[in-house]
Amino acid sequence: MNVPLSLRVNGKAVTAEVAPETLLVTFIREHLRLTGTHVGCDTAQCGACTVHVDGRAIKACNVLALQVQGQEVTTIEGITPAEGLHPMQAAFKACHGLQCGFCTPGMVMSAIDLVQHHPHGSEREIREGLEGNICRCTGYQNIVKAVAEGAKAMQA
């Protein structure tokens, strides 16, 4: 039996009827057709599904859509400006912080959240802060570099 859901996604009001077991990531990808948020695992570990809910990074595969009733969801599409790139996105590009791109939206969303809470993280702190995001391509080194540069750019 579908249940009414109403929330804001990337600044726009959204209403829908969803099966109660619908994951937030499924709602984002299938109902809203925002496919920038990815599913990489089934144990809430890889972080490819990371979005912001009321400004906090959460794993959308590990939350039911109904659990964010009335809240503000921001996806990778939502942090991308109308022109150009968000400073964190630009930092990832400049530092070659992505290869296949599959973990990248989740990585960028986690990085923005990390930097918003720890603007001057050391390399160690950045690495620990990204523990919830798995990348198989980059070996993380350029991601860490990108997060540090993105942090500086976000404070500028």
Partner 1 sequence: MNDPKPGFIGKSVERREDYRFLTGNGQYTDDITLPGQTFAAFLRSPHAHARIRAIDTAAAQAAPGVLAVFTGKDVSGVNGLPCGWLINSIDGTPMKEPKHPIIAEHKVLHVGDQVALVVAETLAQAKAALNLIDVDYDVLPAVADTATAAGNATAVHDIAPDNVCYTWALGDKAGVDAAFAKAAHVTRLEFVNNRLVPNAMEPRAANAVYSRADDSYTLYVASQNPHVERLLMTAFVLGLPEHKVRVIAPDVGGGFGSKIYLYAEETALVWAARKVGRPIKWTAERSESFITDAHGRDHVTVAELAMDGNGKFLALREHTTANLGAYLSTFSSCIPTILHSTLLAGQYTTPVIYSEIKAVFTNTVPVDAYRGAGRPEATYLLERLVDTAARELKLDPAELRRRNFIRSFPYQTPVALMYDTGDYDATLDRALELADVAGFAARRAESERKGLRRGLGYAAYIEACGIAPSNIAGALGARAGLFEAGEVRVHPTGKVTVFTGSHSHGQGHETTFAQVVADKLGIDIEDVDIQHGDTGKTLFGMGTYGSRSLSVGGTAIVKALDKVVAKGKKIAAHLLEAADADIEFANGEFRVAGTDRKKSFAEVALTAYVPHNFPLDKLEPGLNENAFYDPTNFTFPAGTYVCEVEVDPATGAVRIDRFSACDDFGNVVNPMIVEGQVHGGLAQGIGQALTEGCVYNEDGQLVTGTYMDYAMPRADDLPHFVVETAKGTPCTHNPLGVKGCGEAGAIGSTPAVINAIVDALAPLGVRDIPMPATPYSVWKAIQAAQQH
- When asked if residue 39 is in the footprint of partner 1 (CB under 8 A), the reply is yes
Helix, coil or strand: residue 18: strand
Q: What residues form DSSP beta bridges with 5?
A: 16
Least separation in angstroms between residue 80's CB and partner 1 is: 4
- When asked if residue 103 is in the footprint of partner 1 (CB under 8 A), the reply is yes
CA separation for the pair 91, 148 (Å, rounded): 9
- Determine which residue in the list 5, 63, 143, 148 makes contact with partner 1, applying CB under 8 A: 143
CA separation for the pair 140, 98 (Å, rounded): 9
Pairing label, strands 56-59, 72-74: unpaired
Cβ nearer to partner 1, comparing 72 with 77: 77
- Determine which residue in the list 16, 102, 118, 153 makes contact with partner 1, applying CB under 8 A: 102
Give the helix/strand (H/E) hosting 17: strand 12-18
For binding to partner 1 (CB under 8 A), which residues are involved?
19, 29, 33-43, 45-46, 48, 75-77, 80, 85, 89, 92-94, 96, 98-105, 108, 123-124, 126-128, 130-131, 133-144
